[in-house]
Amino acid sequence: MISPTRLASVRSLAAVAVLLSTLGSAPDAGASTAVPAPESGTFTVDVGTVESGTMSTRSTCVFFMEGDYVHISSSAPRTASAHGWWRNARGCSGLKAVVKTRLQRQNANGTWTDIGSLGRATVYSGGGAGKRTVTRHVCAGTATKTYRHWVDVDVIGVADAPNKHYSPARRLQCG
């Protein structure tokens, strides 16, 4: 059986291959690499900046998708909440990204369903106040349920793979 981390890595690399094939030509050596994010185990892709529909080799942008654990918000009403942001690893200084995040709740059969609000913001790298987005789901009770959330980052003007970062699952009293 393939571990979830290994499966995510394989899916990310497959997404890179699809992305590169849609660009129409193979990149220059070193222009495309899968880079593991040390905290999350997810991958982002360094494929260069996009100018007039073609890939430029003048600069590259490598970044990490990040998020916190799903938690019970400290503000009323009682909600499951999570934040998503991105972090510049190399070459993305001064760029903004569209960051989206969404909560998921695990069903009895083990599948995940998107719930709550879709968080979406256009922000600079870094996280923290003004540099992240939030997703929330109002708790209907105190039954224990399992939650996680995904983060999707699209740096403006930079081609990237369609992969998402998924937070670790957490059991919360938010039925």
Tens digits of residue pLDDT in 67-98: 999 999 998 999 999 999 999 998 998 999 99
Q: Where are the beta strands (DSSP E) in 40-169?
A: 43-46, 49-51, 54-56, 62-67, 71-72, 79-90, 96-106, 112-124, 133-138, 144-155, 165-166
Residue of higher predicted confidence among 130 and 34: 130
What is the band of 161 on the pLDDT scale with cuts at 50, 70, 90? confident
Q: What is the pLDDT of residue 10?
A: 34
Q: What is the pLDDT of residue 158?
A: 87
Q: What is the pLDDT of residue 35?
A: 34
Whether this prediction's pTM lies above 0.75 is answered by no
Q: Which domains can be identified in the chain, with CATH numbers?
A: 4-173 (2.60.40.1940)
Does residue 38 surpass a pLDDT of 90?
no
Closest to 72 (Cα-Cα) out of 173, 154, 175: 173
